[in-house]
Amino acid sequence: MRIAFYAPLKPPTHPVPSGDRRMARLLMAALGRANHRVELASRFRSRDGTGDPARQQALADLGQHMARRLIRQYEARAAAERPALWFTYHLYYKAPDWLGPAVSAALDIPYVVAEVSHAGKRADGAWAVGHAGAAAAIAQADAIINLNPADVAGLAGVADPHAILVMLKPFIDGADFAAAANRRDALRKDLAQRFGLDGEKPWLLAVAMMREGDKLASFRLLATALERVRDRSWQLLVVGDGPARAAVEAALAPLGRARVHYAGRRLAEELPQFYAPADLLVWPAINEAYGMALLEAQAAGVPVVAGATGGVPTVVAGDRTGLLTVPGDAGDFAAAVRALLDDPARRRKMGEAAKELIAEEHDIGTAARILDRAVHDAANRHRRLQ
C-alpha cells in the first residue's frame, strides 16, 4: 500500500534530534518493513507553542492552502501512484493536522492517526483554534493508534465510536543496541579513555536534549537526587546538548567535576556505544510521554531508574527491568539509585531482563506487524463506509 506520512509537530527530516523525530522515523521504517511504500507528504510544521490565536489561524490557513496544493499534485498522478492511505503521527492542540483530513477526503482514502491526545480544557483557551483543528481531525480518523494508554480516555466523545482503536507499545529497532551489549567491555574501555571515566566505578548515564521546561526540570531533579547519594561511588555521563546546556551544567556542578562528564550531542548511530557500557540509566522523566532513552538503554541491557510519569510504566517493567519512582520525588529517586548501586547482581539481572523485554514487546518487528494490520483494517473499514 502506498502511504502518505505526515508529522505536524516535527517532521522526520528535522535537523534537531528528539524523541518525536525518532519515533516518526521508526514508524516510517516499521511501515516499510511491512512492505508498504511510505512517502513523506509534507514538512509543514503546525506547532504553536505560545498560545497565539492569530498564529494558529495563520497556520490553519497556510495548512489548508498546502492541502489544496497536495490534492492537485496527487490527482495529477496516475491512480496507482496516488496514496492509498494517509498516516499522521502525533497530533494534538499545539500541533493539529491541517493537511491530512482534507487530502484524505478529496482522494477518498482512509485517514489514520497515531499518538493523538485531546484536552477538553483547551476548547476555550489560548489554543482554541488548534484544539478545534485537532478535534476535527480525530473525529475523521478511520483508525487511531495509541502509544500512550493515558491518551485513550480523552478521546471519548471526540473520536468516531466506530473507529478502529489500536494499542501499539512504543518501540525501537533494537538490533544495534543488542549488538553493542555484546561488546560492553571494549566499549567501556574506549569511553573511559575518551571521557576520563574510571572503569572500576559504576557509571550512571543520562541521555536527553537540554532545553527549557520538562527536560531542564528533570536534570535539576536528577542533580538533587544524586546529591543524596554522594556517599556512594559513582560517575555520571551525560549525553545530549541544547540551548539549556549552561543551566544543566549549573544544576549538576555541585556534584563535582570529577563525577560528572559530558559527551555532548551524538548521532543516533553512535548512541548504542554510550548505552552499552553504562551500569544504570537515570532519568526522572518529568511529564515524559514514555521516553525513547528508556527503551534504548534497556535494549542495550542497561537497567533504569525513572520517574513513573505518563507512559513510562508501559516501557519499564518496575522491579524487573528497573525501578520506577514517585514522580517529582527526589528522595524516592535517590533511594532507588542507591539500592541498585549497592546491588550489582540485581543490576545485572535487571539488565538481562531489559534486553528480553525490548526484544519481546518493543521491537520494530512486532510494531511492523501491528501497524500492518491497523492500516489494512482501516482500509477495509473505509471501503465498507463508501
Write the DSSP string, 311-361: THHHHS-BTTTEEEE-TT-HHHHHHHHHHHHT-HHHHHHHHHHHHHHHHHH
Q: What angle do CA 365, 367, 371 make, to 5 degrees?
A: 120
Global confidence as pTM? 0.92
Evaluate whether 2-171+363-385 and 175-361 have a shared fold. yes
How does DSSP classify residue 239?
Answer: E
CATH of 175-361, one of 3.90.228.20, 3.90.1150.10, 3.40.50.2000, 1.10.3720.10: 3.40.50.2000
Task: Answer whether residue 386 shows pLDDT above 80.
Answer: no
Kind of pairing between the strands at 322-325 and 37-40 = unpaired
- Grid cell 555541585 — which residue? 254
Q: What is the mean pLDDT of residues 41-51?
A: 96
Rounded to whole angstroms, the Cα distance separating 359 from 365 reads 9
Task: Answer whether residue 275 shows pLDDT above 90.
Answer: yes
Q: How confident is the model over 141-170, as pLDDT tens digits? A: 999 999 988 888 889 889 999 999 999 999
CB 309 within 8 A of CB 227: no
CB 337 within 8 A of CB 228: no
Q: What angle do CA 45, 48, 49 make, to 5 degrees?
A: 120
Which pLDDT value is given to residue 153?
87
CATH no. for 2-171+363-385: 3.40.50.2000
Domain range summary for the chain, segments of one domain joined by +: 2-171+363-385, 175-361
Rounded to whole angstroms, the Cα distance separating 272 from 178 reads 8
Q: Which residue has the higher pLDDT, 137 or 268?
A: 137
